[in-house]
Structure 1
């Protein structure tokens, strides 16, 4: 029902702007719903599971559109917002969505570690010139609070308590004024580790680096935020798609840098919470969510997957 309503809203909005949609095709329905509005080269992106953890999903879409537009205008390799109609964010029939250019890609392609690391360094260089302000570590410090509320009574109480305590500890380690922007330093805000923050991708794993006919393009900036670059390096280092440690070295960083440990732990906790919440909407993912929780309970440092 959610998918059907969302697809109908996307088609109606597109057609109101003169885009004829003959065959909407669901590309993915997991944390977000992505719909190719065929034959137009447009993808509607609709928060579904992510909207459970974000009471105001349009704000995240607005940040994502602003960051991707800046990168595209700067010549960075990204999937851009659609230029065939206003990209949004839009709200129609209770559905929040944005419109993006359709990028044909090879989902089985895995970039080499050195390529992924180098491209992340280049992305960060362009993001340093982003003119707007984004919440400091917002998806890391704030969103897990909502996710933990959703999971209360849905998972083992002892496991829930461990997750909640771990998040509180990480807020203490990483937070500066609980993400209010206190502790600014020259060149940006300061993260809890004392390093200057800048705009980062927020979900910088190789699955968001699409192999297209135009080359590798970064995608999916919905978790963009202000943070030390160590956050993106933690995302990259924890991937199972390639040798994350080698990718971090190619970036020009040390994967054993003690400053990365808190980010690695926070990334492990964040991922565990999101897969548990996804299972609330998609019960078929319950076994995988339980396995992820068990893995986190065995090693909450995030160092193993």
Structure 2
């Protein structure tokens, strides 16, 4: 995995090569990706770190993210746009992939209400129906977990028998999801943490898991969140949180999230407690419905 120092250096080098002066790069977030505010410029660099483990070509995911966010911004949808101070990318510098985004003032402590989250997702889906580009069919749901399962083998984070259970669950869910219809461009990771509260209102952020998928996938992401009352948010979206058709998406979302936190722990041991908790929750209820019923 790319060291943080190399990631920051690459982001600064590419930005300055395009005329953006950087005096004080500040890491805003270091979890699955590294996000760096290139102060004093109003630019945020995104570098895939843990997420690169699940993607054969991380630059492809960033390119799709830039394309979708650019389309939405041009259409007037409430999203964090790519930077207009330099080409958004993605750029690759010495093996480090980076994209550039506008830095927006926001309140990280703002509690998004269920009603606001549900209405925001409904509006996003309406805007995304017009996206003209090609997107992978459920790629982050069907394909990326295969790479994560391979990365976890021999990591010591997951026992072989538990890894086999995770593999079997993914195979079963893949069989159920391959023939779903009603696909359109969807966010892919539509939880309230990807809504930024700005002075001008809520802005959607983080489209790197955007894909061609059923809108029910994003609804399941919202239903499973622990940041707010997911059931109320789904009703505000205009859907029934008890719709049996959501069950397969809820289960697949639960598995997907579990694999990502396990992969993060495999490379950053400080995340092991969170990973063990997530794995135990999945083992207790692979359907994911216990969390969705809270």
**Which residue does the alignment assign to 2:247?**
261
> Counterpart of 2:256 in 1: which secondary structure?
helix
Distance, in Å, in 2 between the alignment partners of 1:249 and 1:255 is: 7
Distance, in Å, in 2 between the alignment partners of 1:279 and 1:273 is: 10
**What is the TM-score of this pair, normalised by structure 2?**
0.97
Distance, in Å, in 1 between the alignment partners of 2:90 and 2:253 is: 27
**Which residue does the alignment assign to 1:29?**
30
Residue 178 of structure 2, aligned match among 168, 172, 175 = 175
Question: Structure 2 regions of 5+ residues with no counterpart?
Answer: none
> Counterpart of 1:304 in 2: which secondary structure?
helix
Distance, in Å, in 1 between the alignment partners of 2:218 and 2:162 is: 27
**Which residue does the alignment assign to 2:204?**
218
Q: Does 1:132 align with 2:133?
A: yes
How far is 1:108 from its partner?
1.4
How far is 1:304 from its partner?
2.5
Alignment of 1:115-194 (within 5 A): 115-154=116-155, 155-176=158-179, 192=180
Distance, in Å, in 2 between the alignment partners of 1:283 and 1:75 is: 42
Question: Structure 1 regions of 5+ residues with no counterpart?
Answer: 177-191
Distance, in Å, in 2 between the alignment partners of 1:230 and 1:163 is: 23
> Counterpart of 1:26 in 2: which secondary structure?
strand
Distance, in Å, in 2 between the alignment partners of 1:111 and 1:293 is: 27
Using the TM superposition, name which of 25-34 and 104-113 deviates more: 104-113
How far is 1:216 from its partner?
0.6
Residue deviations 1:156-211, cap 9 Å, x none?
111101100000000000013xxxxxxxxxxxxxxx2xx41100000000000000
How far is 1:263 from its partner?
0.1
> Counterpart of 2:38 in 1: which secondary structure?
strand
RMSD of aligned alpha carbons: 0.8
Residue 220 of structure 2, aligned match among 234, 250, 268 = 234
**What is the TM-score of this pair, normalised by structure 1?**
0.93
**Which residue does the alignment assign to 2:80?**
79
Using the TM superposition, name which of 237-246 and 104-113 deviates more: 104-113
**Which residue does the alignment assign to 2:237?**
251
Distance, in Å, in 2 between the alignment partners of 1:102 and 1:46 is: 15
Residue 198 of structure 1, aligned match among 184, 188, 198 = 184
**Which residue does the alignment assign to 1:60?**
61
**Which residue does the alignment assign to 2:100?**
99
